[in-house]
Structure 1
């Protein structure tokens, strides 16, 4: 795993932050929406943050084709508890523009293929392209109710994000790398998402409100929050 370093240029500070997330984690989606708003504030204060999204699998043993969502959630959490969890996410997401439409979701996917596409985006187009793909994956799953384990869905996401033709095919050979990333990050003691690393070290865990991200990343940049 690449170690990332902070650099200072004139009166601006650049941070490189690794965000460990799964694209079916509601709090990762909420965290991204909040973080995006915080990054605008930080940039206005002279702190530029580049994000690399690191894959994490919440359900590494789920079948490659995924599972019926109600069946999976009932087995994992109990259905009534699952509905209560969904309601909490919906309410929390409203503050930051994270829209959830759980009523149209039918599948809980295996996320290896989605993560592989996002990693390819980073390799081929850097942080900006990867962010486009990650955002599209969250929106497809949580807002549009799409099965982001479905290759046709991933093909459309890659195309609409501006990836070169054949992106999904190119990403398929990297799925073992995704499993390696997942194992390595868990070996570092990261056991919840979203989590945030800098210089290969855990900086903080858990989604934050906008000011929380501003404060934590300002301190990381050596500036008052």
Structure 2
């Protein structure tokens, strides 16, 4: 498939980042708009977990104090979430978890090569944490969430918090969420769907120009 018929979006994220939840929702909206305008162009997302707090203990950290120092105003986040069609409940969150288990689970599901299943699990993990205050560092909670979206049982073995997680211990990007389109155009932050749609459109046009230059 030539570049003009495909857009690849690399997404860097962590599950404890509310802006990543918001960013992935904007991306889903942008993809829906893009499919309407460019029905012949395939869109492929490549998910790259980035563990923001690898030093967090297995039991996690107190959420409220850490939130204030790292993530900004709860009101700002909740307003941005509503604009993306999300309702967050930050008051339900008690602990900032170590995400090694959750990201390792995503790594094992990625190996299945079923993008829809991966994205369903990713969305369920975000929702469990930011909308229901569930502990996504807990092995039993992760098994239940994975079972709810249909992850095969052989992918649900417990992962050691300090095990071989595919997530990077430190970001290789300026921050998360971070998007790279067709390996050319980079965007950092939870941009709205219109901006992401425009970037995807630019990616198609750039690929067409590159294809034509090679003929």
Q: TM-score with structure 1 length normalisation?
A: 0.81
| 2:168 paired with 1:182 | yes
1:152 equivalent to 2:140? Answer: yes
- In the aligned structure 1, how far is the partner of 2:120 from the partner of 2:160? 19
The higher-RCO structure (CA 8 Å, 6+ apart) is 2
Q: Which runs of 5+ in 1 are unaligned?
A: 1-6
Indicate how the Cα distance of structure 1 residues 167 and 216 shifts in structure 2: closer, same or farther if over 3 A, else same.
same
Residue number among 22, 25, 29 corresponding to 1:30 in the alignment: 22
| Bigger share in helix | 1
**What secondary structure does 1:20 align onto?**
strand
Q: Does 1:194 align with 2:177?
A: yes
Number of aligned residue pairs: give it: 205
Q: Superposition RMSD on alpha carbons, in Å?
A: 2.5
Structure 1 residues 169 and 202, CA, compared in 2 at 3 Å: closer, same or farther?
farther
Partners of 1:195 and 1:202 within 8 A in 2:
no
Q: What stretches of structure 2 of length at least 5 have no aligned partner?
A: 209-215
- Identify if the C-alpha distance between structure 1 residues 86 and 28 changes in structure 2 by more than 3 Å, giving closer, same or farther: same
- Output the CA distance in 1 between the equivalents of 2:194 and 2:163: 36
Normalising by structure 2, report the TM-score.
Answer: 0.85
Partner of 1:139: 127
Among 202, 206, 210, the residue aligned to 1:219: 202
2:75 alignment counterpart: 87
What is the 5 A alignment of 1:47-62? 47-62=41-56
